[in-house]
Structures are given as structure tokens and as C-alpha cells.
């Protein structure tokens, strides 16, 4: 751990070197005379948006498309690292067939589902339109109201349980409101009709969600550049340093206790604290400065953990209809219930520079679990063998196709959960933390909110705005990612695109 310099400049301690923490540091350096000190528990920058290098290949943990409706964020990215534009293609793999993602009610989808299933979907949808669920108590009610029970059962129920390890009945409707905005059967039908009526030669409008920016070597390439600029501007980034305590005086944060890799704990004084650490850990670090009930609520917060399995093959069994070449998907959402596998990234299609040998196929298989699951506790070799077996079982690779290389990456607390007693009482936690004028909760885990990386950046930018303006209310920070028309398609029905 680097020793901080004694000077008259104000200091901001930033917990976490992910998108939120690095954005906060860079914004402070560009726009204020406040010196940022970042403390990162891991040994690299980027958080979930890191790039992992293995054997000349590159892995993106969870998949991070660079798209945003915020011009501020887009300009920020462009300043740091000009990125090529990539075409977006994600599909659902179900019944050993491909379906558009988000679901489109066009002829290929209806033909793939079969006549009787389509009839049941239609009757179910019109029934819910006539008799909607008046008060949505959970995520199941949310989906049924928008898609009808039959379509919900077909494409949403089992996959959501695979992702979250919980029934949709146990998850609050707020998650659907945040992640599945603006999608319904009526909108899907409208989209299909527009496609049919499109005039010859008319180009289809392409949004940043249908195409996206992406660094040649994955998202970590941008965040490594951000880290370089933070250090060049006089900020510090300290690795393998975990915040284990937060010091207060009244309703003001005065410092943080940081434990380094040696186990030694150092007290760091600060004028501001930007917390990207999980809310559960922040409240625990506050100790008796937090009331008993707030500590109980925070202790009960739930997180879903995540494993990415990199597997290298010579080829896949599934092919393009037009030829033997590799299918063009960035992601495949695996709807098949007989496997634990949730999604597959085809890294070749994110960027050809992600793969050392472009005649091979570099996959990222995504599994959602809890850190106390038997699956999490398996060895890397056991997980690799299980992943390859599942690919063969559902026809993605041929039986016996050799694995040329592999890498297993485990990420704890990847997804803050919208269920459980802790989440039910999160408003009380927020009300408590908002009382500290110099404490700013930013990023996905910092806010216990399923933010994309641009939302995490905006939360940090807004916090710096507030410091400059002398604004103590946190309402505008919490308003980030609360707008009603943002997320693409049925991202919430799956695990959402990061």
C-alpha cells in the first residue's frame, strides 16, 4: 500500500477500481483539486468490466457492450479510447433452435414454437389483457401482465430461476420494472408489423443497442487507460487493499480502515468517501455508527455469484445456415432446462483480437450460483469438464470435441439481488447512508442496484457534480438508472447485458 502524502488538499477515498471508482477519480482530477485515493481489493482494475488474459486469448467477464443514452458517457469513452463499432446479435437457444433476442413475434419465432404452443400463447395473452393482475406482487405477476402466462412459462420462468436461484414469485416486481422497460407483446407485434411494411431500400434504424462500441481487447482495455490517466494526474490506486472499517464523527465520514495484503490495517483519513463496496460490507464497516436494525437489514442483503468458463475449441457443431463459418452471435442465451449453463459468449464475435488463433473458437460459458453452492466448490477441472459435457449434450459442440485450453474465473457478489428481507428494507438503509453528506454510494454493489457500466459511471459523475455544487441531497444519484425507457429488450428476463 502506498503511503499518502501530507498536504492541504482535500482527499477522497474511493473504494473499488471498477467503472464507478475510476470515473469518480478521473472526474475529481479533471474538475476539482481533490486528490483521489483508490483502494481495490483485487489485483487489477475494471471490476466486473475487467479483461482477463489467458494463453494469448482475452475474456470479458459477463459481457460489456459499450452503449449508452448518455452523451456525457459516450464523450467520456471517446476521450479515453476510440473504439470500433460492432454489430449486435444475441439469440435464445431453445428446443435446439435459435430464437431472436429480444423475442420478436415474427414468422421464424412462431414457426419455431409450433402451432399449438402459439395458439396457447395467443389465448393466454388476450386473457391477461382482458383480466390483468391489478396489483403486481412479484416478478411473475410483472411478466404475466406483459406477456401472458404461456409466453412467461416458455421464455421467462425457468431461465430467471436459473439466473437467480429463486422462483419469480420470490423476486420483487421492481427488478422487472428496471430491467424489462418498454417491452411487451404489443410492442413486439408492432415491431414485426413495421418490418413487414418496410419499403424496399429503406434502411432499418440502428441504435447503439443494436450496434455497440467495443475495445479490441475487451472492456478492461478502456479501464486500464482510465487507471493510467488517474495515476498520471496524481491519483493513487492501491491493489489488494480491502476496506474493513469506516470511521465517523457524528454524521460525517472521517476515515477508512484499510487492510493490505500483509494483513496490516492502516487508518486513512478522508474528506469524502466514494463507496463502491457491497452495501453489506459498508454497513458492517460502520459498526456501532449504524443502528442495530440497519446492520440487520444490511446483513440480510443477498448477492448472486458468477462463474465464467473459458473453453477453446477448433470448431462448433452449430453452423450458419449459409455456410460452415462461425455463427455471428455475441451471446447465446441457453434456455434448455436440462443444463445449468446460462449464457455463452463467443469472444471471436465481440472482437477478432480477443482470440490468438482466429481459426479456433474461444467461448465464455456463464454460470450463476451462490458461493456456498456445491457447483462453486468444484475444482476448476471439474467445472471445465461439466461445461464441455453440457455443450455436447445440447448440440453446441460435437461429442468428444477436444478442449484445447480452458480458464475458470469466479466472481463473488456479481449481481445484487432484488429479493430477501434485506432488500425489502433497503429504503431504510438508503435513508441512513444519505444522512452522511460526504458519503457517496456509487456503482452496482455500492448502490445495490443492477447498473450497467454507464449507469455506474453516471452515479460517480453525479456525485462529483454534487461536491462541486455543494449539494448534499443524494436524490439525483439514486435517480440514475431509474428512467423508464432505457434497457434493451428482455434483458431482465435473462441476466441483463452488462
Pair 487, 180: CB distance under 8 Å: yes
What pTM did the predictor assign?
0.90
**Domain(s) of CATH 3.50.50.60: residues in the chain:** 11-46+219-301+418-478
Report the b/e string of 431-460 with b at 16+ CB within 10 A: ebbbebbbbbbbbbbbbbbbbbbbbbbbbb
Instruction: Give the homologous superfamily in CATH for domain 11-46+219-301+418-478.
Output: FAD/NAD(P)-binding domain (3.50.50.60)
Other C-beta atoms lying within 10 Å of the C-beta of residue 186? 12
Length of the chain: 498
- Identify the pLDDT of residue 490: 32
First-to-last C-alpha distance (Å) of the chain: 31
- Identify the pLDDT of residue 187: 54
What distances in angstroms separate CA 417 from CA 14, 17, 175, 478, one per listed residue? Answer: 23, 22, 9, 17
**Domain(s) of CATH 3.90.660.20: residues in the chain:** 303-416
Element spanning 13, H or E: strand 11-15
What distances in angstroms separate CA 416 from CA 156, 219, 340, 485, one per listed residue? Answer: 19, 21, 20, 21
- Identify the pLDDT of residue 325: 84
- Identify the pLDDT of residue 204: 41
- Identify the pLDDT of residue 176: 76
Q: How many CA atoms lie within 13 A of 342 on its CB side?
A: 25
- Identify the pLDDT of residue 109: 81
What parts of the chain have a pLDDT lower than 50?
A: 2-5, 189-190, 192-193, 196-197, 199-208, 484-497
Q: Phi first, then psi: what are they for 369, rounded to 5°?
A: -160, 180
How do residues 171-223 score in pLDDT, each as one tens digit?
A: 988 777 766 655 555 555 445 445 544 544 444 433 336 899 999 999 999 99
- Identify the pLDDT of residue 104: 73
DSSP, res 459: H
How do residues 236-261 score in pLDDT, each as one tens digit?
A: 999 999 999 999 999 999 999 999 99
The class level of CATH for 303-416 reads alpha beta
What distances in angstroms separate CA 18 from CA 182, 278, 321, 446, 455, one per listed residue? Answer: 29, 13, 40, 11, 12
Amino acid at each position: 500500500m502506498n503511503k499518502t502524502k501530507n498536504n492541504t488538499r482535500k482527499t477522497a477515498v474511493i473504494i473499488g477500481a471498477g467503472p464507478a471508482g475510476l470515473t469518480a477519480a478521473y472526474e475529481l482530477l479533471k474538475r476539482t483539486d481533490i486528490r483521489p485515493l483508490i483502494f481495490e481489493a483485487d489485483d487489477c482494475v475494471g471490476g466486473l468490466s475487467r479483461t482477463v488474459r489467458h494463453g494469448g486469448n482475452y475474456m470479458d467477464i459477463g459481457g460489456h457492450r459499450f452503449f449508452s443514452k448518455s452523451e456525457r458517457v459516450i464523450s467520456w469513452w471517446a476521450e479515453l479510447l476510440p473504439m470500433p463499432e460492432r454489430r449486435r446479435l444475441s439469440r435464445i437457444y431453445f428446443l435446439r433452435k435459435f430464437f431472436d433476442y429480444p423475442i420478436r413475434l415474427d414468422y421464424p419465432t412462431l414457426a419455431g414454437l409450433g402451432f399449438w404452443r402459439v395458439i396457447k400463447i395467443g389465448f393466454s395473452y388476450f386473457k391477461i389483457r382482458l383480466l390483468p393482475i391489478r396489483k403486481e406482487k412479484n416478478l411473475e405477476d410483472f411478466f404475466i401482465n406483459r406477456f401472458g402466462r404461456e409466453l412467461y412459462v416458455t421464455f421467462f420462468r425457468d431461465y430467471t430461476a436459473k439466473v437467480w436461484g429463486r422462483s419469480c414469485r420470490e423476486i420483487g416486481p421492481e427488478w422487472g420494472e428496471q430491467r424489462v422497460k418498454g417491452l411487451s407483446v404489443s410492442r413486439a407485434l408492432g415491431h414485426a408489423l413495421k418490418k413487414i411494411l418496410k419499403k424496399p431500400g429503406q434502411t432499418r434504424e440502428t441504435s447503439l443497442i443494436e450496434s455497440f462500441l467495443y475495445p479490441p481487447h475487451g472492456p478492461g482495455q478502456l479501464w486500464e487507460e482510465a487507471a493510467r490517466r488517474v495515476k498520471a494526474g496524481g491519483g493513487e490506486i492501491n491493489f489488494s487493499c480491502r476496506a474493513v472499517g469506516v470511521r465517523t464523527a457524528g454524521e460525517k465520514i472521517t476515515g477508512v480502515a484499510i487492510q493490505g495484503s500483509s494483513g496490516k490495517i492502516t487508518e486513512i483519513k478522508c474528506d469524502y468517501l466514494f463507496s463502491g463496496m457491497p452495501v453489506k460490507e459498508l454497513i458492517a464497516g460502520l459498526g456501532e455508527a449504524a443502528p442495530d436494525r440497519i446492520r440487520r437489514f444490511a446483513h440480510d442483503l443477498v448477492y448472486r455469484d458468477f462463474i465464467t468458463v473459458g473453453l477453446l475449441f477448433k470448431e462448433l457443431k452449430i453452423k450458419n445456415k449459409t455456410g460452415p463459418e462461425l455463427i455471428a452471435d455475441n451471446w447465446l442465451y441457453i434456455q434448455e432446462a436440462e443444463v445449468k449453463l446460462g449464457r455463452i459468449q463467443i469472444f471471436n464475435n465481440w472482437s477478432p483480437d480477443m482470440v490468438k488463433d482466429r481459426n479456433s473458437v474461444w467461448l465464455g460459458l456463464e454460470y450463476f450460483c451462490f458461493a456456498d453452492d456445491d457447483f462453486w466448490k468444484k475444482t476448476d477441472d471439474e467445472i471445465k469438464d461439466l461445461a464441455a459435457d453440457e455443450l455436447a449434450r445440447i448440440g453446441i459442440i460435437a461429442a468428444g470435441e477436444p478442449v484445447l485450453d480452458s480458464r475458470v474465473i469466479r466472481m463473488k457478489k456479481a449481481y445484487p439481488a432484488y429479493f430477501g428481507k434485506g432488500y425489502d428494507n433497503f429504503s431504510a438503509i438508503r435513508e441512513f447512508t444519505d444522512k452522511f453528506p460526504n458519503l457517496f454510494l456509487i456503482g452496482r454493489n455500492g448502490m445495490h442496484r443492477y447498473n450497467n457500466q454507464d449507469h455506474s459511471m453516471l452515479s460517480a459523475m453525479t456525485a462529483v457534480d454534487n461536491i462541486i455544487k455543494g449539494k448534499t441531497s443524494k436524490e439525483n444519484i439514486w435517480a440514475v438508472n431509474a428512467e423508464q425507457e432505457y434497457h434493451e429488450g428482455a434483458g431482465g428476463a435473462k441476466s441483463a447485458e452488462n
